[in-house]
Structure 1
Amino acid sequence: MNLMKFKNFFIANAVLIGMGFAACAQAEDAALIKQGEYISRLGDCGACHTLPGKPAFSGGLAIESNLGTIYSTNITPDKDHGIGSYSEAQFSDAVRKGVLPDGTRLYPAMPYPDYAKITDEDMHALYAFFMHGVKPSAEAPPETDLSFPFSQRWGMRFWNWAFSSDKPFKPVGGASAEINRGAYLVESLGHCGSCHTPRGLGMNEKAFDSSSEAFLAGGNLNGWEVPSLRGLPHWTEQETVDYLATGRNDKAAVGGEMKSVVEHSTSWMTDADLKAIAAYLTFLGNNQAAPAIDKKASEATVAKLTAAKNLTEGERLYLDNCGACHFVTGKGAPGIFPQLDQATIVNAGDPTGLIHTILAGAQQPSTAKAPSTLAMPGFAHRLSDEEVARLATFVRQGWSNNAEAVTAEQVAKVRKSLKEH
């Protein structure tokens, strides 16, 4: 009898211990999936692979490129339409090398040249999330069908050989742990260089890390001039953090493609990671001085707008359409309406971004730390091409700004592109 009791006691405890191990394993799996979800935010996967009204990560976004329209794919764990049959190694090859299990080569609209630096640990968590934390979807997005010769994907083998690298992330020598965390995020998962680094003749990023001064030195995306991120000397580190977390700071507000980046990626980052990115960007430009402000010119513009006498047409258009929010000072309202004096988009060599904003307006994203969606109306319906040109010219040459005039022909070109899209 005692032997039977001992046997039952042993079995019961073995079951409890087994249940304990299973619970621990489940907790570890849940933690890994949650970490993978965060990694997917760092990599901004949702921005390209999720369309409004469609299942998460089911693809279908039309990405305009110089080669034609490229459609994002379904990356849910559906075995027929997604990536559900991928092993972890195959998943890694697709993300880091742009090579699918059947040998098909991806176009670098998928930023695998930057994702190549993702660590094994982060890749493992990312795989766990997509396989076990994402709901499968049978959504079949449109197939990418570029014209010849770009339709020959096998040619990407040679492009990869010439312009991409499989080297892992290399820490910046002598830099702090925080700066190196920022470097890792910017160079790999954040793939900031895919927009902010100039492109070569092969449409390749000219650099992938801080060892080259071309890295994050600015570029052009769909006609918008993309600013350099090397230091942002006119912003404090906290202003960089605020911009990434909320889409706005005391001097600027997001526009263009950056709105999506903030909405789907940077606004979800931890404070520590945001501060690390800001520290790294400051490190890149630690020898850059803030742009000089022409105080006399600024005061002259303020005085003329305040008096509202003998105004040029551009000045009159500004007071009638812009002055209520951006004020006669061109300083706007901190954290609400962006500053125009010394603004990057205003002083860009290519005025497309400014023209686009005047015509189509802009809306700040709703984020956890700034849920309000402040919007600027578009003026395409009420201003002619000539009027927009004169307004933009005033803004680009008022206060401390010193950029070239805008022509009606430039405005007409942007207006046409808006109608087409």
Structure 2
Amino acid sequence: MKPLNLMHAIAVGAAMAFAMISPASAAQPEAMSRGAYLARAADCVACHTVADGKPFAGGLKMGTPFGNIYSTNITPDKQTGIGGYTLADFDRAVRHGVAQDGHQLYPAMPYPSYAKISDSDLASLYGYFMHEVAPVHQANRPGEIKWPLNIRWPLAIWNRMFVDMHPYASDAAHDAAWNRGAYLVQSLGHCGACHTPRGVGFQEQSTGGGSEFLGGSTLDGWTASDLRGDQAAGLGRWSHADIVAFLKDGGNAHASVFGSMIDVYNNSSQFLTDDDLSAIATYLKSLPPSHPDAPGWTYDDTTAQALKHGDFSSAQGLSGRAGAQVFRTQCASCHGVDGKGLGDRLPSLAGNPNVLAEDPSSVVNLILNGSQRVVRHGMPDSYRMAPFRLQLSDQEIADVATWIRHAWGNRAGAVTAADVAKLRASTDMSSNQVIILKMR
């Protein structure tokens, strides 16, 4: 259950303008109930808890182009939470986007994905929230969207046009592991909500079967990665083990979690069983590339040799000397002159799919605002990307970002000072800080 991102917000606006077979679940970790495990897989805590607040009591502020909304209390308190919800009420809210009193939920609640949750898993989630979550008496905060934009009934039209309300059905052409992975990715994990580009109605272009699904998308100043088989900007060069490591440990030799994915990792993916992580990897590795004709990536040592000898002018990159100098003085100590970083803690920039993405938003955002805290298996990270918004100008950030996107064999588009200025104006360091939330 994720914060409302820009694409979700636009989907709400578009709607206003229009005025199973359950795969067998792997064993849950010891001391965690099935319902608690499923709530982890769905990352419910991320949206429904605020810093220093009680778990699932709501109140998280979510910005939209029309005004702010706040996540709701989903503890079993009967007056302010969902304690009065029947299983049917819970089903209607989670899988159909309709609250107990009949009002439509904004698609900030990813019910277009949760619609695929199986009946048995939904019942387990209901049992968890009714009997294991501590009730918290905390009134919901009203939204700040003004009339008439706060009228919600047009969302029902949007749902009919764009949302498939049928639970996931196993595909007989694939084995149990593939189906388990597909189920987790498409339903509880709601990966498509961020990683799938949007169509004319700002809906996900496809929900599991089309070539656009999980093909990458840009929202909230971040580029959600291409999770398909593209060789450069996708997962084509990643092994099955690489994907498992990324989800379990927060990084691998190719990349590490950043942006909104840190929240997913901190609260969700690292808690999944090895069997489920393997199933997810099996499913993702089966997805063909969105752009099969796009060029691949091969490491080029020219950049490293030039930097080692201080020859900034001959180092690869369109921004030449200026970008190379910024990199050598500000970045090389962590990411290395060879661009290969240091394991999964200090990520590689050479061949990193996020560096090679068509949209450079993530690269620029990370340089501007740094990275959030990653907590691996209860241990906070020791090394994080530092913010450079105060040290570097828009032009310097544009130079080094362009240079990185053209070094070590990388071949991606240039970044302009205007690109940086736009992200600088719409982001800040405080907005990128994450609060680590523990489900109690």
Name the TM-score class by shorter chain: 0.7 to 0.9
Q: Give how far 1:149 is off.
A: 4.2
Partner of 1:10: none
Deviates more, 1:361-370 or 1:380-389: 361-370
Alignment-mate amino acid for residue 387 of structure 1 = E
Paired residues of 1:224 and 1:353 also in contact (CA < 8 A): yes
Partner of 1:57: 56
Alignment of 1:156-171 (within 5 A): 156-171=155-170
Q: Is the 8 A contact 2:110 2:193 kept in 1?
A: yes
Distance in 1 (CA, whole Å) between partners of 2:114 and 2:151 is 23
* Residue 116 of structure 1, CA deviation: 0.7
Residue in structure 2 matching 1:403, options 403, 409, 412: 412
CA–CA distance in 1 between the matches of 2:237 and 2:418?
32
In 2, the alpha carbon distance for the partners of 1:379 and 1:397 equals: 20
Instruction: Within 5 Å, give how 1:208-287 maps onto structure 2.
Output: 208-209=207-208, 211-231=209-229, 232-285=235-288
- TM-score w.r.t. structure 2 length? 0.84
Q: CA deviation at 1:269?
A: 0.4
Q: Which amino acid aligns with 1:335?
A: D
Cα shift at 1:293: 3.1
Which residue of the other structure, out of 307, 317, 321, is the alignment partner of 2:330?
321
Gapped runs of 5+ residues in structure 1? 1-30
State the match for 1:89 in structure 2. Answer: 88
Q: Contact between 2:199 and 2:205, CA under 8 Å: does it hold in 1?
A: yes
Aligned residues: 388
Q: From the superposition, tell whether residues 401 and 286 of structure 1 become closer, same or farther in structure 2 (CA, over 3 Å).
A: closer
Letter in 1 for 2:283: Y
- Counterpart of 2:303, as a letter, is T
Structure 2 match to 1:343: 352
Shift of 1:67: 4.4
State whether residues 233 and 289 of structure 1, in contact with CA within 8 Å, keep that contact through their aligned partners in structure 2.
Answer: no
Paired residue for 1:299? 301
Rounded Cα–Cα distance in structure 1 between residues aligned with 2:213 and 2:96? 20
Q: What is the TM-score of this pair, normalised by structure 1?
A: 0.87
CA separation in 2, counterparts of 1:293 and 1:215?
A: 23
The one-letter amino acid of 2:200's match is L
Structure 2 CA distance for aligned equivalents of residues 248 and 149 of structure 1: 45
Question: For 1:157 and 1:348, how far apart are their aligned partners in 2?
Answer: 35
Deviation at 1:145, TM superposition (A): 2.9
Partner of 2:70: 71
Aligned mates of 2:384, 2:140 — CA distance in 1: 31
Q: Separation in 2 of the partners of 1:290 and 1:270?
A: 34
Aligned residue for 1:13?
none
CA distance in 1, matches of 2:342, 2:159: 46
Structure 2: give runs of 5+ residues left out of the alignment. Answer: 1-29, 230-234, 314-320, 432-440
Partner residue, 1:309: 311
Counterparts in 2 of 1:101-250, with a 5 A limit?
Answer: 101-209=100-208, 211-231=209-229, 232-250=235-253
User: Larger relative contact order (C-alpha < 8 A, sep ≥ 6)?
Assistant: 2
Contact 1:197 1:215 in 2 (8 A): yes
Which has more radius of gyration? 1
Instruction: Give the CA RMSD over aligned residues.
Output: 2.1
Query: Partner of 1:201: helix, strand, or coil?
Result: coil
1:383 aligns with 2:386: no
Structure 1 distance, partners of 2:373, 2:246, is 11
Deviation at 1:43, TM superposition (A): 0.8
Cα shift at 1:283: 1.1
Moved more, 410-419 or 385-394: 410-419
1: CA distance, partners of 2:289 / 2:403:
32
Identity across aligned pairs (percent)? 42
